[in-house]
Amino acid sequence: MWRVERARQIATANGWAGYTALQLRHSYLQPRPGAPVPDQSHRFGWVTDEVVDYVDSEPDLSLWVYTALLNGSYARPDRPLRAAYDHPGTTQRLAALDKVAGELGVSRNQVVLAWLIGGSPAATPIVGVSTPEQLDEALAGARLRLPAEHRRLLDETA
């Protein structure tokens, strides 16, 4: 984050427009620390606790996240999670995700999008869709507001 802050300070000192958004990889499920994830080879492309703290402390900085739906892994059996996600935390988080989705009568994808958008700081997910149905599902997830007890369950599940 020091690079972003340095760039923002240089921009301010010169009267230039500075960064107003960060675009990083993030989802409800997280890979094992240090585990390689195919298609994500650079080490600075992930949302970390430091990123969350930095964005939360800068009111003019927003967070945009990609691969929020893990390339279909939440919803499609033909798109299993990558090996980097094979750890007990994933099992616990999937159970919490399934509980919330079941209680609210929505899909896993919708819960993940609502969790991202309603977080602190809020994250704007960048999603790709292939069908009108997937677009409808994503838009419904963006509109979904998680009740406090469901958000707490998702946030507290490690």
Phi, psi dihedrals of residue 17, rounded to the nearest 5°: -70, 130
Write down the pLDDT at residue 158: 60
Euclidean distance between the first and the last CA atom of the chain, given in angstroms as a whole number: 25
Which tens digits make up the pLDDT trace of 42-84?
Answer: 767 889 999 999 999 999 999 999 999 999 999 999 999 999 9
Indicate the SS3 state at residue 77. Answer: coil
Strands laid side by side in the 123-126 sheet: 21-25, 62-66, 123-126
Q: Tokens 């929505």 identify what position?
A: 106
Which tens digits make up the pLDDT trace of 81-134?
Answer: 999 999 999 999 999 999 999 999 999 999 999 999 999 999 999 999 999 999
Report pTM: 0.93
pLDDT, average across residues 149-156: 97
Report the amino acid identity of residue 83: A
